[in-house]
A and B are shown apart, each in its own frame.
Chain A
Amino acid sequence: MLAEPSCPIAPPLPRPSPARAVIGDDPDLADIRRAAEGDQAAYGRIVGRNIDALTRVAERMLGSRAEAEDVAQDVLLRGWRQTTSWRAGEAKFSTWLHRVALSRCTDRLRARRETSLDDSPEIVDRSPTPEAGLQQQSVALRVRAALATLAERQRAAVVLCHFEEMTNIEAAAALEISIEALESLLSRGRRALRAALQPDRAALLGDLT
């Protein structure tokens, strides 16, 4: 049986993720100004706050860890150049980084479609965490495969809102769409995931016990 979620209806407590902050409260702003003057240590702090999320997003979009690290590196190098012309108040730096990362992922997925008959994302390079059992790995791989079947924009919406726990406002900003459009993508994406995982549901639920 599926274990009960630990606290699905928890009271609205703030999460530690910086993505939960409001747009006007950009944790990267002070370091952006220092980085614009050439302070690499300041940019290193920005990298530290964002590289994990960017890598995870790209990995779930592309299904490849190696490509995800390339995308994260490319995006953060562009971010370094962007600091000299960054204008505060229009968007959080992390939101802009995610927007660029999603754009890079779109480019790579398009290139795959154009160069390969097999456009299904690779499910490779996933190192199991030490605590993950074989059954959990099995479920995780099936979830990752189901995610790969989603339409690209639906996948991006689910990745940002569910896995990265972005607020709806930030996810919509990263995707450059309205809140209503975001909710539509999320609903269709989750329904498709449910349908994709349905045939294996009993096995998946068993795996999770």
Chain B
Amino acid sequence: MNPGMPAETPAGMTFQRFAELVDAYGADARRWPLAERAAALALLASDAAAAALQQQAAMLDAMLDVDVAAPASHTARRALMAALPARGPVLATRWQELLALLGGWRIALPALAVALVAGVNIGATVGTGVLSSSADARSAVGTATDSEAPDDSGYRQGFAERLILDLQNVPQ
């Protein structure tokens, strides 16, 4: 720290933080974080020790900058574009459009789940509550079998189970 300077500039940049910035990002202010750049430059302009740190970092920067990597070759670009698989308006895109219309998957998916749960519950209620409470109803729809009748334990088949049994009992 330069003994003639305060520990912190009015802009809030300490010498310690300046040293960390130069240590990490090097001497070029354009590589410093934007939010701290102005304060670091203000400190640099008034602190000889900060300037010395920056000069040391500049030497390493200058050596690194000699290493220039060539851009991608035209051959590589052409090969890449030739390798792109063609595609038209894909089904996935259409599904995404539908989802977007429904408000995106964050809304559509929970809504679908709620609808599914509600449907199952209604089905179960109708199957085990309303209809099964009435022997007339069961006989009226012609779906009653021996196996699906409520037993003494109070077990009642659900709507889906009854539907499967119905399908199994369809006359060939």
Could you say which of B66-74, B140-148, B158-166 contacts chain A?
A: B66-74
Distance in Å: Cβ of B113 to nearest Cβ of chain A? 21
Question: In the complex, which residues of chain A have a beta carbon less than 8 angstroms from the beta carbon of B71?
Answer: 51-52, 55-56
Selected contact of B66 from candidates A11, A13, A208, CB within 8 Å = A208
Asked, given contacts A85-B92, A143-B64, whether A47 binds B31 with beta carbons under 8 Å apart, the answer is no
- Distance between Cα atoms of A193 and B31 in the complex (Å): 18
| A194 & B72 in contact (Cβ 8 Å cutoff) | no
Question: In the complex, which residues of chain B have a beta carbon less than 8 angstroms from the beta carbon of A38?
Answer: 86-90
Whether A23 is near chain B, meaning CB under 8 Å from some CB there, is no
| A140 & B72 in contact (Cβ 8 Å cutoff) | no
**Chain A residues numbered 46-86 whose CB sits less than 8 Å from any CB in chain B:** 47-48, 51-52, 54-56, 59-60, 65, 69, 72-73, 76-77, 80, 84-85
- Distance between Cα atoms of A163 and B54 in the complex (Å): 18
Whether A43 is near chain B, meaning CB under 8 Å from some CB there, is yes
| A187 & B23 in contact (Cβ 8 Å cutoff) | yes
- Distance between Cα atoms of A99 and B35 in the complex (Å): 24
**Chain A residues numbered 166-209 whose CB sits less than 8 Å from any CB in chain B:** 167-168, 179, 182-184, 186-187, 190-191, 193-194, 197, 204-205, 208
Distance in Å: Cβ of A157 to nearest Cβ of chain B? 9
Distance in Å: Cβ of B75 to nearest Cβ of chain A? 9
- Distance between Cα atoms of A43 and B87 in the complex (Å): 12
B34, B44, B65, B69: most-surrounded residue (chain A CB, <10 A):
B69
Could you say which of B76-84, B115-123, B125-133 contacts chain A?
A: B76-84
| A13 & B58 in contact (Cβ 8 Å cutoff) | no
Question: In the complex, which residues of chain A have a beta carbon less than 8 angstroms from the beta carbon of B58?
Answer: 4-5, 8
| A190 & B81 in contact (Cβ 8 Å cutoff) | no
- Distance between Cα atoms of A208 and B67 in the complex (Å): 12
Asked, given contacts A12-B34, A15-B30, A59-B69, whether A51 binds B96 with beta carbons under 8 Å apart, the answer is no
Whether A104 is near chain B, meaning CB under 8 Å from some CB there, is no
Select from chain B the residue with minimum beta-carbon distance to A73: B80
Question: In the complex, which residues of chain B have a beta carbon less than 8 angstroms from the beta carbon of A2?
Answer: 59, 62-63
- Distance between Cα atoms of A204 and B70 in the complex (Å): 21
A72, A127, A186: most-surrounded residue (chain B CB, <10 A):
A186
Distance in Å: Cβ of A35 to nearest Cβ of chain B? 9
Question: In the complex, which residues of chain B have a beta carbon less than 8 angstroms from the beta carbon of A147?
Answer: 67
Whether B8 is near chain A, meaning CB under 8 Å from some CB there, is no
Question: In the complex, which residues of chain A have a beta carbon less than 8 angstroms from the beta carbon of B34?
Answer: 12, 167
| A140 & B68 in contact (Cβ 8 Å cutoff) | yes
Whether A117 is near chain B, meaning CB under 8 Å from some CB there, is no
Distance in Å: Cβ of B140 to nearest Cβ of chain A? 50
| B60 & A10 in contact (Cβ 8 Å cutoff) | no
Whether A151 is near chain B, meaning CB under 8 Å from some CB there, is no
Question: In the complex, which residues of chain B have a beta carbon less than 8 angstroms from the beta carbon of A36?
Answer: 93
| A5 & B83 in contact (Cβ 8 Å cutoff) | no
| B61 & A77 in contact (Cβ 8 Å cutoff) | no
Asked, given contacts A13-B30, A15-B30, whether A73 binds B37 with beta carbons under 8 Å apart, the answer is no
Question: In the complex, which residues of chain A have a beta carbon less than 8 angstroms from the beta carbon of B76?
Answer: 51, 55, 69, 72-73
Select from chain A the residue with minimum beta-carbon distance to B23: A187
- Distance between Cα atoms of A15 and B24 in the complex (Å): 19
Selected contact of B72 from candidates A55, A84, A208, CB within 8 Å = A55
| B93 & A37 in contact (Cβ 8 Å cutoff) | yes
Question: In the complex, which residues of chain A have a beta carbon less than 8 angstroms from the beta carbon of B37?
Answer: 12
Whether A103 is near chain B, meaning CB under 8 Å from some CB there, is no
